[in-house]
């Protein structure tokens, strides 16, 4: 099949790449743009490891073709840190042992980012529901839940003062 050109803005940076129309977005990010922070697990929408933000909303990049999001604004795990400083969610995951092998972590962080935007002051139960779309295979969820809980007030304060 003839390659097509895809234009994307990822973490505020414009990108252009050529790929076959059947190329998955997650593979386009990793292989064409060398943004390998987004992980690939199941490749059929179950595990959530590939979650990124597409035009501000969490989406599984293994269920989208790169051509489908031509012209979109994406945010990936590489865009969380600012000027060498960890995002409050990353800081909280580090402090509260929210990661072990780190395989689910990029998808977990992007999912939590979207979740806390829509629910800035969640209960523990709501956090568990909010991150339930991402499967962690190794730590159990308590550390992750604690981390999201700890990040919530920091993000609320940040939103208030911006």
Residue numbers at the binding site for ligand FES (CB under 6 A):
40-43, 45-50, 60, 62, 99-105, 136-139
119 C-beta neighbours (distance < 10 Å), count: 14
Parallel/antiparallel/unpaired status of strands 57-60 and 4-10 = unpaired
CB of 136 to ligand FES, least distance (A): 3
Closest to ligand FES by CB, 3 or 63? 63
Q: Which is nearer to ligand FES, 135 or 150 (CB)?
A: 135
Distance in Å, CB of 59 to ligand FES, minimum: 10
Which residue matches tokens 């990936």?
A: 76
Of the candidates 159, 13, 146, 36, the one whose C-alpha atom is nearest the C-alpha of residue 91 is 146
Q: How far is the CB of 14 from ligand FES (least distance, A)?
A: 25
Nearest-angstrom CA–CA distance, 84 and 143: 24
DSSP letter at 96? T
Rounded to the nearest whole angstrom, what is the least distance from the CB of residue 87 to ligand FES in the complex? 17
List phi, psi (to 5°) of 120. Answer: -70, -15
Whose structure tokens read 């990049």? Answer: 61
- Of the pair 29, 33, the CB lying nearest ligand FES is at 29
Q: Which is nearer to ligand FES, 10 or 110 (CB)?
A: 110
């Amino acid at each position: 099949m003839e390659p097509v050109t895809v234009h994307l803005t990822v973490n505020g940076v414009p990108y252009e790449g050529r790929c076959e129309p059947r190329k998955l977005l997650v593979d386009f990010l990793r292989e064409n743009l060398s943004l390998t922070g987004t992980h690939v697990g199941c490749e059929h929408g179950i595990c959530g490891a590939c979650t990124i933000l597409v035009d501000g909303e969490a989406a599984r990049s293994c269920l989208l073709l790169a051509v489908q999001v031509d012209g979109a604004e994406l945010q990936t795990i590489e865009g969380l840190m600012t000027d060498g400083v960890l995002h409050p969610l990353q800081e909280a995951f580090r402090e509260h042992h929210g990661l072990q092998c780190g395989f689910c972590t990029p998808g977990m962080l992007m999912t939590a980012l979207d979740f806390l935007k829509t629910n800035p002051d969640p209960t523990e139960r709501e956090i568990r529901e909010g991150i339930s779309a991402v499967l962690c295979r190794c730590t159990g969820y308590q550390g992750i839940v604690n981390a999201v809980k700890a990040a919530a007030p920091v993000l609320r304060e940040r939103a208030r003062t911006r």
